[in-house]
């Protein structure tokens, strides 16, 4: 009877753990990052009078551990697809900011208006209204250059802030993963605590993959080691230790990253995640600023050259119409000519009604190609933006499929849990009945004596 009581008690303990596990699954069915657990129950057999977990003559049941339904291969697909999406989505964001900067000031339209006003003035070089209109157009061009340049400069500043925040987040995640690794080294395998730590580990890795491409390896305790920038990249997390990521941007706008381990610094070359998208955005912003500055410098120089080659309405040598302050930012152009009479419409010795010098404005419009260059910048960026958006849509689908595939294995299915709940409740009730029968039998024997 004592054997019967012990067998019932072992089953009661085992199914209590199983019911707790099912309850935990149901309670966390909607919890992000939670992985389904199952209780492994084995028969306790007697071999030569010694109890062991094996198949044979039964002596009850025992829990040998709580198993987590995670799959490292499906997790790797989630990390890889998340890294790809992170790069493209981040790149889309910066391309969109560049497009807004280039199009909001309608620079190409203002340039066209300026050269059109010069053509209009050529019809009547003495017209005060036409001269005033040309100066108004000159102010419009200067403002458009300055607004576009200032907008691109703000984008570059915002990119620095975003980079700093992203690097800080990555370093924080690396430190968190190191602490989780430390916990995994202490937690007993097959326990609920061990499974919870692995859930936290996977959530941390997924967040890291959105910031940079990660190569992950695991030891027997489930601790993760992480290389960044590919499998050959520097080691960011190794067991309980984590290095730190730093970044720099040179005068030309090129971004670079490094991993600092004590006094050792290794180059980090992210090919995925937000950091890779930031690197791409930094280069595109730098290129756009350089191109715009070049267009502005050439425009100011060419227009001022035309002015200096002619005579104004008072037969004076033409004064500069524009100035550019290279120390104030990108394409910071100002209109310096304020008197409409100062427009040099005539050639030297041509007289007030001469419009010969205005033809030079049409010539530099063609040779300089300022409008077409601005349009090309805008359309090239817009084309890249559209292409990246298309790629991002495809990568979003790939990542969603990877997450669904992982969750199909590791996610909680309430119908399955309901079946297990009833099964373990019945088993628990049955073992309780075994204990009751054993007690009643023992009591009957005692009463007979």
Chain centroid, CA 45 distance in Å: 54
Is residue 39 packed enough to be buried (19+ CB in 10 Å), middle (13-18) or exposed (0-12)? buried
Radius of gyration of the chain from its Cα atoms, rounded to whole angstroms: 37
33, 202 contact by CB (below 8 A): yes
Q: Which pair of tokens denotes residue 320?
A: 């500069």
Phi-psi region of 48 (alpha: psi -120 to 50; beta: other; left: phi over 0): left
Task: Give me the count of residues in the chain.
Answer: 449
Tens of pLDDT, residue by residue, the chain (449 residues)? 457 777 777 777 877 877 887 888 788 787 777 888 888 788 877 655 454 444 445 677 877 778 778 788 899 999 999 999 999 999 999 999 999 999 887 999 999 999 999 999 999 999 999 999 999 999 999 999 999 999 999 999 999 999 999 999 999 999 999 999 999 999 988 888 888 999 999 999 999 999 999 999 999 999 999 999 888 899 999 999 999 999 998 877 788 999 999 888 999 999 999 999 999 999 999 999 999 999 999 999 999 999 999 999 999 999 999 999 999 999 999 999 999 999 999 998 888 889 999 999 999 999 999 999 999 999 999 999 999 999 999 999 999 999 999 888 877 778 787 887 888 788 777 777 777 776 767 767 777 76
Helix (H, G, I), strand (E, B) or coil at 188: coil
Q: Which long-range contacts (CB under 8 A, 24 or more apart) does 337-342 make?
A: 337/135, 337/138, 337/307, 338/135, 340/128, 340/131, 340/132, 340/134, 340/135, 341/131, 341/312, 341/313, 341/314, 342/312, 342/313, 342/316, 342/318
Q: Which pair of tokens denotes residue 410?
A: 């590791």
Cα atoms in the Cβ-side hemisphere of radius 13 Å centred on 173: 26
Residues 147 and 138: their CA atoms lie apart, in Å, by 14
182-221 pLDDT, tens per residue?
A: 999 999 888 888 889 999 999 999 999 999 999 999 999 9
């Amino acid at each position: 009877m004592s054997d019967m009581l012990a067998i019932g008690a072992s089953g009661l303990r085992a199914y209590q753990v199983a019911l707790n596990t099912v309850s935990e699954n149901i309670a966390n069915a909607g919890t992000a990052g939670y992985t389904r657990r199952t209780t492994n129950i084995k028969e306790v057999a007697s071999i030569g009078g010694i109890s062991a977990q094996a198949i044979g003559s039964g002596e009850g049941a025992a829990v040998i551990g709580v198993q987590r339904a995670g799959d490292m291969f499906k997790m790797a697909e989630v990390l890889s697809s998340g890294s790809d999406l992170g790069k493209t989505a981040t790149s889309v964001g910066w391309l969109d900011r560049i497009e807004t900067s280039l199009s909001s000031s309608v620079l190409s339209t203002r340039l066209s208006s300026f050269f059109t006003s010069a053509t209009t003035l050529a019809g009547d070089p003495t017209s005060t209204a036409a001269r005033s209109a040309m100066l108004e157009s000159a102010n419009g061009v200067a403002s458009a250059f300055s607004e576009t340049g200032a907008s691109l400069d703000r984008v570059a500043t915002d990119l620095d802030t975003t980079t700093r925040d992203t690097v800080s987040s990555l370093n924080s995640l690396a430190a968190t993963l190191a602490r989780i690794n430390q916990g995994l080294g202490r937690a007993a395998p097959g326990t609920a605590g061990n499974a919870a730590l692995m859930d936290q580990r996977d959530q941390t890795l997924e967040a890291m993959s959105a910031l940079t491409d990660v190569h992950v390896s695991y030891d027997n305790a489930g601790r993760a080691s992480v290389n960044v920038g590919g499998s050959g990249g520097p080691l960011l997390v190794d067991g309980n230790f984590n290095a730190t990521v730093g970044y720099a941007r040179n005068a030309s706008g090129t971004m670079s990253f490094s991993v600092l381990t004590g006094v050792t610094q290794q180059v980090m070359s992210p090919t995925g995640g937000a950091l890779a998208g930031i690197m791409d955005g930094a280069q595109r912003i730098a290129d756009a600023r350089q191109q715009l500055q070049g267009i502005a410098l050439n425009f100011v120089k060419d227009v001022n050259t035309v002015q200096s080659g002619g005579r104004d309405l008072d037969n004076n040598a033409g004064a500069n119409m524009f100035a550019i302050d290279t120390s104030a930012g990108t394409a910071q152009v100002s209109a310096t000519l304020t008197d409409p009479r100062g427009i040099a419409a005539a050639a030297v010795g041509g007289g007030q009604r001469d419009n010969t010098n205005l033809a030079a404005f049409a010539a530099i419009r063609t040779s300089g190609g300022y409008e077409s260059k601005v349009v090309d910048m805008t359309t090239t960026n817009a084309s890249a933006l559209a292409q990246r958006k298309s790629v991002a849509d495809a990568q979003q689908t790939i990542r969603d499929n990877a997450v669904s595939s992982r969750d199909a294995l590791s996610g909680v299915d309430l119908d399955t849990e309901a079946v297990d709940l009833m099964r373990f409740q019945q088993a628990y009730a049955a073992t309780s009945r075994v204990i009751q029968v054993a007690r009643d039998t023992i009591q009957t024997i005692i009463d007979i004596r």
